[in-house]
Structure 1
Amino acid sequence: MPLTLKMSRKWTDRYALIVLSGLLPVVLGVLIIVWQANRSLKLEATQTAQEAVRQFDLMLDNAALAADVVLPLAGQDCAQVELALREQVTRRPFVRSVNLVWDNQIYCTSLFGNYKEAVNPANYAGGVLWLMPGTIVTPNDPVLVYRQARDKRGALISLYGFHLVNVLGLINHKTQLLISVGDAWIDRYGQVRTTQLPHLPVAQTAVASLEFPYRVIAGFNQGAVWRHVTVEYPGFLGLLIFLGAVSAATVHRLQQRSSSPSSEMQRGLEAGEFIPYFQPVVRGDTKQWAGAEVLMRWQHPTEGLVRPDLFIPFAEHSGLIVPMTRSLMEQTSRLLAPHSSNMGPGFHIAFNIAAHHCHNLELVEDCRRFLEAFAPGHINLVLELTERELIVPTATTHELFSQLHTLGVMIAIDDFGTGHSSLSYLREFNVDYLKIDQSFVALIGVDALSRHILDSIIELSAKLDLGIVAEGVETQEQSEYLAAQGVDFLQGYLFARPMPPGEFIEALRARLTST
């Protein structure tokens, strides 16, 4: 493929002298890369732990707000305040139960009403937090309890354990994370332990919360440095070998083999080789077409149709993804605008955007030109935030999303739960849709844990009043399950594969004729 760097073994056999002359720069280069990899992993572990602390603090802030409301009620008759306790459970995200305490004795809960159980303040780290392995209701699920006390009054707020596990498991799947509260700790597998904290052999770091008595430990398992080197610097050995003495013909041949991916993509962009493919999105209840996601394909002159996973990461890294997306939007508007009468009212057209799109406000003008190509109000433009690179909230990004919403553009989080920080995106950006990653959909009926995570995402979207789209629907069982859960839109091979423009337009006409 044009974006891969290969080194021929026969080349090294025939030109052993060239390989030997390049040995010294190779060794020095590897040492530098290993040092850089350790530095990068340490930074990644620290940033991931900081993000986890931010998300846990957000959960506990909700618990603290609930405690502030109910603490003055402590001491009143349970029958009079039980409804107020349940109201806090309903209103506060992540809160599972609210309990009132008088003189270190639980006497009223949002779950059972009147209830008697002694409270031992010594169980709570700093008198505030207690990480429990379970309760009588869910004996096998971890629970984080927040305590607030004043004189004889007290309030205990318990948080869903699976929210903790979700953050530990989904915030960055490459990083090992655990949260430590007092003598107890928990990792992504959901089991509360009181044993000694494990040692993470690579880039271990600890970040303590400034608001609550807990800390997050992050790091990597053995071998992470080498895996990082092989992923981030796969062609570095070949580049070092170029420093050896080679004949002019060999140098020319190697330069051809190691041509810059960004240069090749720039050439393809100027030649109009990046074209749109369309994958329909259907309504969950009626299965009628509600829109389409526009996917980028590379029609390479010698390699044929190049898969997007081979060039999109390079495009995002180099910044070429911005003009490539602009070209895709222009092509799409030219192709579909003359056929907009074949689309239903409010037909959704979605494009993926990356972190590079958020460095300035040019995307607003791109979207304005796209919408002006269609009759006003006839289509809905959706931008899907990809998470291969983290979109850092800044004044520019906030202004960008504000102007996009003013323009009527809707925002979706693509592959929700699998990228850098979906939960932080929900907090920072005004999101309209969540797209459930196909890895969760694929395990419907197969893996109970993934189904619970899927149900939690659907429940979260309902609480936040967000639309939801399920990707990768391939079986009738998946379709029926998602529809039963109230998922708004479905997308996948069960309904249609990505289509070239001509085939998509013909399918639009055919569906209009059939109706």
Structure 2
Amino acid sequence: MPLTATRSRTRPRRYLITLLCGLLPILSGLGILYMQAERTLEQHTRQTAQELVQQVELMLDNTALSSRELLPLAGQPCEAVKLALREQVTRRPFVRSTNLVRDNTLYCSSLFGAFEEKVNPDDYHQGTLWLMNGNPVTPDTALLIYRLNEGQQGVLATLDGYYLANALHLIGGQTRLRLQVGSNWLAADGKVRQTPLPALLVAQSGLASSRYPFNVEAGFDEGEVWRYMAREYPPLFSLLIFFGAIAAALGHWLQQRTSSPSRELQRALEAGEFVPYLQPIVHSDSKRWAGVEVLMRWNHPTEGLVRPDLFIPFAEHNGLIVPMTRALMQQTLQLLVPLTPLLEAPFHVGINITARHCQDLALVDDCRRFLDAFPPGAIALVLELTERELIEPTPITHQLFEQLHGLGVKIAIDDFGTGHSSLGYLRQFNVDFLKIDQSFVAMIGADALSRHILDSIIELSGKLDLNMVAEGVETVEQSDYLAAHGVNFLQGFLFGRPISGQDFIEALTALNGNYPPPGY
């Protein structure tokens, strides 16, 4: 191998790094699953609250209809109208009793006939509904009373709390539901309470009726997100553990590989052995080339092409990644400038940068020289933040990104969702693009549950008004799904593999004469 060993790590440190390698994909995956579970529960409580409002409105429609039919009878002698009161009770579902009121006195009831009891209009929320905890006939049994009044005459129709509690229980299931009328509220146990409505700590959702003066609250107790994940996501937990084990094994193996890269990398840099390979990025709708991602390859004189994962981490560790990237940009510039008339402006050129690039302002000069070589507007330079090393939000870093944006340089987060700092970068830096990692793209068509993770990333990008690039697109199904969900740009083997500069010239020439290029 081109890199050979001279330094070893102590065993405790190696084990610690191995453990961290295993935990990172598990913890990041749990974070994404947690956000998805919260979103699902919030949607559920909104839907449940709406269903309960509709059901209670249906019950009150019956009491309101009975009251409107009986209102003309208010004021007449009880003996003459009591049969009409009882008829409404037998005809109308959910109506428990009907009563006539004259001068704020209940004088006739479907239950007792002639009766006399004072009615206090202030007991009724907005003069219409009163949720009470029973009456002398059925104490400690909830009642919802509907009041319809016209002048000195009125009708009271009662709705049995059994139906209300049953609706709370059947519609809610595992969801906590409360029906509130004024300061009184009813839970699924059928008890009316006058205490302040307690908060629901997870996915609380409130909804007021537009037709009657009541509202409902839906939500879950603390810890429901984790309980939901335990019920619904066991296969994904196994997948996360598998990825964690793979990452830990890979991290352990990489640490055990002995390497002393500085001299060999420096030699290769001076010999110009690091060359650009370009992979096309296409518009999701037209599939026309929108740009390329520039990838570094090591054209070793004896080993041939060396995979980037075998030398990029060493270059970052030794600080050589900065001059290597500068050389890569210079080679890319020399390759693309003669091809400018063939490029569809603004042609996106994506180049990876790391934490090492963000420690001083030299990157600004490198980008300025790159852009100045092209006609204005011909090139859109996109710097992709990788997460092999954490980029600290220092004053220098903020100044760097501010100056880069001043030049018109775009910032993208590469492999979004797979590293521990992606969400932190969104908060700390002014980002223009999210690059969706191929591991999420691969979930398309695998199973509906896994696809929720990808959908959450796409939804997050839409809310933040960020452009999206999906990596690792290999099938037409994946391409169609991403385009239908608003992903702007696509990249993957379906549209082209990373190719050398000469192959890129040939492909671009063919592209302009015959789209797509033959055999591409």
Give the TM-score taking structure 2 as reference length.
0.59
In structure 2, relative to structure 1, the CA distance for the partners of 1:372 and 1:188 (3 Å cut) is: farther
1 CA distance for matches of 2:297 and 2:470?
22
Q: Spell out, residue by residue over 1:269-307, the C-alpha distance to the aligned partner (whole angstroms, 9 max, x if none).
A: 111000001111110000111100000000001100001
In structure 2, relative to structure 1, the CA distance for the partners of 1:234 and 1:346 (3 Å cut) is: same
Q: What residue identity is the alignment partner of 1:310? A: L
Give the share of equivalent positions with the same residue, in percent.
55
2:332 corresponds to: 332
Query: Cα distance, 1:33 vs. partner?
Result: 2.6
2 CA distance for matches of 1:121 and 1:271?
82
In structure 2, relative to structure 1, the CA distance for the partners of 1:295 and 1:477 (3 Å cut) is: same
In structure 2, relative to structure 1, the CA distance for the partners of 1:224 and 1:338 (3 Å cut) is: closer
Which residue among 145, 170, 186 is the counterpart of 2:226? 186
Q: Spell out, residue by residue over 1:320-375, the C-alpha distance to the aligned partner (whole angstroms, 9 max, x if none).
A: 11111111001100111111111011010110111111111111111111101111
Query: Cα distance, 1:496 vs. partner?
Result: 0.9
Unmatched 5+ residue regions in structure 1?
Answer: 7-25, 64-74, 78-98, 108-116, 132-143, 148-153, 160-180, 194-218, 236-257
Query: Cα distance, 1:2 vs. partner?
Result: 1.7
Query: Cα distance, 1:37 vs. partner?
Result: 4.3
Report whether the alignment pairs 1:34 with 2:12: yes
2 CA distance for matches of 1:278 and 1:227?
30
Q: What residue identity is the alignment partner of 2:12? A: V
2 CA distance for matches of 1:35 and 1:413?
29
2:59 corresponds to: none
Give the SS at the match of 1:375: coil
Give the SS at the match of 1:322: helix
Give the SS at the match of 2:376: coil
Give the SS at the match of 2:496: coil
Q: Spell out, residue by residue over 1:428-456, the C-alpha distance to the aligned partner (whole angstroms, 9 max, x if none).
A: 11111111111111221112223111112
Q: Spell out, residue by residue over 1:236-258, the C-alpha distance to the aligned partner (whole angstroms, 9 max, x if none).
A: xxxxxxxxxxxxxxxxxxxxxx6
Give the SS at the match of 1:287: coil
In structure 2, relative to structure 1, the CA distance for the partners of 1:272 and 1:157 (3 Å cut) is: farther
Does structure 2 retain, via aligned residues, the 8 Å contact 1:33–1:229? no
1:352 corresponds to: 352
Give the SS at the match of 1:292: strand
2:437 corresponds to: 437
Q: Spell out, residue by residue over 1:136-173, the C-alpha distance to the aligned partner (whole angstroms, 9 max, x if none).
A: xxxxxxxx4499xxxxxx997979xxxxxxxxxxxxxx
Q: What residue identity is the alignment partner of 1:3? A: L
Give the SS at the match of 2:256: coil
Report whether the alignment pairs 1:130 with 2:201: yes
Give the SS at the match of 1:186: helix
1:303 corresponds to: 303
Query: Cα distance, 1:262 vs. partner?
Result: 2.3
1 CA distance for matches of 2:507 and 2:247?
49
Q: What residue identity is the alignment partner of 1:473? A: V
Unmatched 5+ residue regions in structure 2?
Answer: 43-124, 128-177, 207-214, 234-240, 516-520
1:476 corresponds to: 476
Does structure 2 retain, via aligned residues, the 8 Å contact 1:34–1:229? no
Give the SS at the match of 2:201: strand
1:230 corresponds to: 252
2 CA distance for matches of 1:492 and 1:419?
20
2:366 corresponds to: 366
Give the SS at the match of 1:366: helix
In structure 2, relative to structure 1, the CA distance for the partners of 1:405 and 1:183 (3 Å cut) is: closer
1 CA distance for matches of 2:376 and 2:260?
42
Does structure 1 retain, via aligned residues, the 8 Å contact 2:22–2:245? no
Q: Spell out, residue by residue over 1:40-67, the C-alpha distance to the aligned partner (whole angstroms, 9 max, x if none).
A: 9699989x999x99xx99x99xx9xxxx
1 CA distance for matches of 2:248 and 2:442?
31
Give the SS at the match of 1:435: strand
Does structure 2 retain, via aligned residues, the 8 Å contact 1:279–1:498? yes
Does structure 1 retain, via aligned residues, the 8 Å contact 2:282–2:291? yes
In structure 2, relative to structure 1, the CA distance for the partners of 1:438 and 1:38 (3 Å cut) is: closer
Aligned residues: 363
1 CA distance for matches of 2:366 and 2:186?
59
1:459 corresponds to: 459
CA RMSD of aligned residues (A): 4.8
In structure 2, relative to structure 1, the CA distance for the partners of 1:42 and 1:260 (3 Å cut) is: closer
Does structure 2 retain, via aligned residues, the 8 Å contact 1:278–1:499? yes
In structure 2, relative to structure 1, the CA distance for the partners of 1:106 and 1:390 (3 Å cut) is: farther
In structure 2, relative to structure 1, the CA distance for the partners of 1:338 and 1:230 (3 Å cut) is: same
2:490 corresponds to: 490
2:323 corresponds to: 323
In structure 2, relative to structure 1, the CA distance for the partners of 1:224 and 1:295 (3 Å cut) is: closer
Q: What residue identity is the alignment partner of 2:395? A: A
2 CA distance for matches of 1:44 and 1:501?
37
2 CA distance for matches of 1:292 and 1:475?
19
In structure 2, relative to structure 1, the CA distance for the partners of 1:264 and 1:377 (3 Å cut) is: same
In structure 2, relative to structure 1, the CA distance for the partners of 1:306 and 1:128 (3 Å cut) is: farther
In structure 2, relative to structure 1, the CA distance for the partners of 1:389 and 1:229 (3 Å cut) is: closer
1 CA distance for matches of 2:359 and 2:411?
17
Does structure 2 retain, via aligned residues, the 8 Å contact 1:37–1:228? no
Q: What residue identity is the alignment partner of 1:230? A: H
In structure 2, relative to structure 1, the CA distance for the partners of 1:119 and 1:353 (3 Å cut) is: farther
Query: Cα distance, 1:36 vs. partner?
Result: 7.0
In structure 2, relative to structure 1, the CA distance for the partners of 1:494 and 1:223 (3 Å cut) is: closer
Report whether the alignment pairs 1:263 with 2:251: no
Does structure 1 retain, via aligned residues, the 8 Å contact 2:185–2:194? no
2 CA distance for matches of 1:261 and 1:119?
74
